[in-house]
Amino acid sequence: MKTLDLFSLGTDSDAEASAPLAERMRPKIIEEYVGQSHLLAEDGLLRRSIKEDKLFSMIFWGPPGSGKTTLARILANETKSYFVSFSAVLSGVKEIRTVIDDARELWESKKKKTILFVDEIHRFNKAQQDAFLPHVESGLITLIGATTENPSFEVIAPLLSRTRVLLLKSFSEEDLINIVKNALKNEQKGLGKFSIKVDSDVIRHIVNSAAGDARSALNNLEAIASMVQSLPPEKRIITKKIAEEALFKKALLYDKDGEEHYNLISAFHKSLRGSDPDASLYWLGRMLVAGEDPLYIARRMIRFASEDIGNADPQALPITVAAQQAFHFIGLPEGELALAQAAVYLATAPKSNSLYTGYGRVKEIINKTGYLPVPLHIRNAPTKLMKELDYGKDYKYAHDYNGAYVPQEYLPDKLQGQKFYEPKAAGHEKTIKERMDAWQQKKNSAKDGK
């Protein structure tokens, strides 16, 4: 099956031979694909849709290097569909119309389906996304979008309602080990013809450096192998020292192109958490200079405001959201200052992870106890029948009491007394803690009959 890429010269045998290792090792059939078992297991959603020839329009949402493009090509191959691929960065409505016209002609003349793969679909504006709608709905094209961004925010609602969002996960350590080993022994497409020897601990080092990214793992392997593959056969041995040296050189290049994505965002996050505004500004600058998506950084700061600060400083969240909106409004380069302002605010704010840990306890208890019934006294009672069944009976309206507080149970019976949110004596949470302690004292006194 031939594939069409509107913005490449194709992939003939000569081009494949000179292609990067990650491209040469790209799986062609579903049996070669490693990972994403939640979608590709025998009873997985995609596997069933292929077997039944009922492929649907979908959006792959996952981190870089999680196999989105590869999986789209495999789906086209397995379903014998015509595959058209283009990047949202380089194309517009005109190209979309050309694809639609070709898809219509192909269906009318040969009854052959067209799969349209759109990489970085989140970069299409509303008008461009709207252009897909009638043709996805009619079934003329099967749309497969790929994005590293949350589709809920980046894809228009009408298009979301006509597609399924499928989450692709980062590759596990075991998956990446298998991918690297396969590349080492594959003589046709990989490095097998060089007979390079690699210890298992070196493979694990390569995998750990890739942070779940298969493309990065293979790029790392290729960079390391290039240091030994021209040596005599008996000296083609990759040691830990060689691997570390190669990856260090590669990392310096990657900084410029944003390839140290996970390392840089981790350094930024930990600097914020460690209350170091200088380091926070430095890592922010490093990411922006390297070409990181500024809105990705803003989203991470918004998450940080709730996870690491929470109610210790309730202003952290609105200030960070405001920074995101400001950047979205004015863009680069002026918008960088809004992100810098938010970063310094987060770094210097009092810290508390009480919300993060408290909500974690909530999810854990729900998983253990299931859906416990709502206590009768706090149920709504809009009908006579409900009132007869004691819905809302003995409920105490807080505003009728001094300080708008009255001791009363709100949790299900099995969870009464359970504590989830435990504020710390930091920032505004100190005030919250004092308030909650006073309420608890009133509750204890009511139980004692005082």
Nearest of 421, 150, 186, 395 to residue 296 by alpha carbon: 150
* Predicted structure pTM score: 0.51
| Three-state helix/strand/coil letters over 375-433 | CHHHCCCCCHHHHHCCCCCCCCCHHHCHHHCCCCCCCCHHHCCCCCCCCCCCCHHHHHH
Amino acid at 248: F
Whether 75 and 50 have beta carbons less than 8 Å apart is answered as yes
> To which CATH superfamily is domain 3-167 assigned?
P-loop containing nucleotide triphosphate hydrolases (3.40.50.300)
- What is the reported pLDDT for 91? 65
Nearest of 301, 285, 296 to residue 333 by alpha carbon: 285
Whether 410 and 378 have beta carbons less than 8 Å apart is answered as yes
- What is the reported pLDDT for 260? 60
d(CA 46, CA 79) in angstroms, rounded, equals 11
Partner residues linked to 60 by β-bridges: 146, 166
- What is the reported pLDDT for 269? 93
Name the residue ranges covered by the structural domains of the chain: 3-167, 173-257, 261-348, 373-447
Block means of pLDDT (10 residues each) for the chain, length 450 residues?
42 59 88 86 83 85 86 83 75 77 87 84 83 85 87 86 88 90 90 88 84 85 86 86 72 45 85 91 85 85 94 94 90 88 94 91 87 87 84 89 88 87 86 88 78
- What is the reported pLDDT for 47? 85
Domain 173-257 classified CATH 2.60.40.10? no
Burial class (CB in 10 A: 0-12, 13-18, 19+), 153: exposed
- What is the reported pLDDT for 449? 66
Nearest of 169, 122, 157, 87 to residue 295 by alpha carbon: 122
- What is the reported pLDDT for 300? 92
Amino acid at 107: W
CATH of 373-447 among 3.40.470, 1.10.3710, 1.10.260, 3.60.15: 1.10.3710
d(CA 198, CA 192) in angstroms, rounded, equals 12
Q: What is the DSSP letter of 41?
A: S
- What is the reported pLDDT for 90? 63
Whether 374 and 412 have beta carbons less than 8 Å apart is answered as yes
Query: Which class in CATH covers the domain with range 261-348?
Result: mainly alpha
Nearest of 89, 50, 51, 103 to residue 72 by alpha carbon: 50
- What is the reported pLDDT for 263? 79
